[in-house]
């Protein structure tokens, strides 16, 4: 492309916006060249680790969770494009490849947690993190809401409690993850859950209402002649995210919290052995793609 054409295209771009191209060209003349550290905000990113103790591996713990949040944000970025744009199977196949790749990387990354921290140091500094918990990751909850109907985020106990024709608020009252911080017998909520709901519950309810009818699951249900290739990639994502990843998380928790049969409590106070297992969560994004045996044995093996 010639320099003259590039300049003409730039002028046309700003004229169509109702702007004076000359102003922008003058600005470009005096703008500083971009560099790597400013573009990726490297200095800011590398300054975001603020340990609460003097144990060296706490910084590893913080960075690992920050990397996880970035992976989850990448997944949200891909999923939102499928939710808010018209269905195109080739795009879905590409995006699902990305989602499966990201999830596999999350699964593999747990080795950083399992083998990358001193056992005794971790079990000392983690008490300083109470009541913070990975349970409080709103990005994780957004992925659930974008992917599937709320009724698929209710486990069997929740289905027995919830009434007919539940509202969005009703679903959130009985959603599976609430059991990690709510004693259903006494009605008492943990501080971990109280903090999370105060900060994010209204946003999650609004997001669920906004995406109602347009979740990935609902888009697939409305799509006729969905290819077997697409169904297989959807099932792969469902299994990786809702079975394989939680099981690796559970194994890592067992390594630090129950390695010697000590059965230590999670920082958020949840019954982690029960809560983290897919059989308890029963979370499925695309339940209609699974047969009865697969659903019955959900989480029984990897």
State whether 148 and 236 are in the same domain. yes
For residue 3, what pLDDT is reported? 82
State whether 232 and 196 are in the same domain. yes
Task: Quote the crossing angle between the two packed helices 138-147 and 57-84, to the nearest 10°.
Answer: 20
**198 belongs to a structural domain:** yes
State whether 144 and 252 are in the same domain. yes
For residue 193, what pLDDT is reported? 94
Rounded Cα gap, residues 145 and 79, in angstroms: 10
- For residue 17, the enclosing domain spans 3-31
For residue 104, what pLDDT is reported? 97
**247 belongs to a structural domain:** yes
Question: What CATH number has the domain bearing residue 73?
Answer: 1.20.58
Cβ neighbours, 10 Å, residue 218: 16
State whether 196 and 264 are in the same domain. yes
111: tokens are 């080795």
Rounded Cα gap, residues 57 and 256, in angstroms: 14
Whether the CB-CB separation of 250 and 280 falls below 8 Å is answered with no
For residue 278, what pLDDT is reported? 87
CA-CA-CA-CA torsion for 282, 194, 119, 300, nearest 10 degrees?
Answer: -10
Cβ burial 8-18 (10 Å sphere, 16+ → b, else e): eeeeeeeeeee
For residue 212, what pLDDT is reported? 95
State whether 99 and 11 are in the same domain. no
State whether 98 and 184 are in the same domain. yes
For residue 220, what pLDDT is reported? 95
**46 belongs to a structural domain:** no
State whether 93 and 211 are in the same domain. yes
State whether 20 and 144 are in the same domain. no
State whether 181 and 124 are in the same domain. yes
Domain count for the chain, please give it: 2
CA-CA-CA-CA torsion for 91, 93, 98, 102, nearest 10 degrees?
Answer: 140
State whether 18 and 94 are in the same domain. no
State whether 182 and 115 are in the same domain. yes
pLDDT of the chain, 302 residues: tens digit per residue: 788 888 899 899 999 999 999 998 888 888 889 999 999 999 999 999 999 999 999 999 999 999 999 999 999 999 999 999 999 999 999 999 999 999 999 999 999 988 989 988 988 998 899 899 888 999 999 999 999 999 999 998 899 999 889 999 999 999 999 988 999 889 999 999 999 999 999 999 999 999 999 999 999 999 988 999 999 999 999 999 999 999 998 888 787 766 655 655 555 555 656 667 888 888 999 999 999 999 988 888 65
For residue 29, what pLDDT is reported? 85
Rounded Cα gap, residues 294 and 169, in angstroms: 30
pTM: 0.90
State whether 69 and 123 are in the same domain. yes
């Amino acid at each position: 492309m010639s320099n003259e054409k590039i300049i003409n295209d730039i002028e046309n771009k700003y004229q169509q916006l109702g702007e004076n191209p000359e102003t922008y060209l003058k600005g470009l003349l005096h703008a500083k060249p971009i560099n790597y550290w400013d573009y990726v905000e490297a200095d800011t990113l590398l300054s975001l680790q603020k340990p609460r103790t003097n144990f060296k591996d706490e910084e590893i713990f913080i960075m690992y969770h920050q990397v996880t949040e970035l992976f989850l944000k990448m997944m949200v970025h891909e999923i939102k494009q499928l939710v808010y744009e018209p269905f195109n199977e080739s795009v879905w196949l590409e995006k699902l490849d990305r989602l499966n790749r990201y999830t596999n990387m999350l699964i593999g990354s747990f080795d950083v947690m399992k083998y990358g921290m001193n056992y005794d140091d971790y079990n000392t500094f983690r008490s300083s993190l109470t009541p913070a918990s990975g349970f409080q990751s709103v990005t994780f909850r957004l992925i659930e809401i974008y992917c599937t109907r709320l009724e698929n985020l209710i486990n069997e106990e929740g289905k027995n409690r919830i009434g007919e024709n539940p509202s969005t608020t009703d679903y959130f009252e009985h959603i599976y993850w609430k059991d990690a911080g709510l004693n259903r017998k006494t009605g008492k909520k943990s501080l971990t859950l109280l903090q999370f709901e105060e900060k994010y519950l209204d946003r999650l309810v609004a997001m669920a209402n906004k995406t109602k009818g347009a979740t990935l699951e609902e888009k697939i249900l409305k799509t006729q002649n969905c290819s077997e290739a697409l169904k297989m990639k959807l099932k792969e994502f469902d299994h990786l995210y809702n079975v394989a990843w939680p099981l690796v998380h559970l194994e890592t928790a067992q390594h630090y919290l129950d390695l010697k049969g000590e059965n230590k409590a999670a920082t958020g106070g949840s019954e982690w052995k029960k809560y983290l297992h897919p059989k308890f969560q029963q979370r499925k994004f695309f339940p209609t793609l699974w047969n009865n045996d697969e659903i019955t044995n959900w989480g029984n093996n990897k």
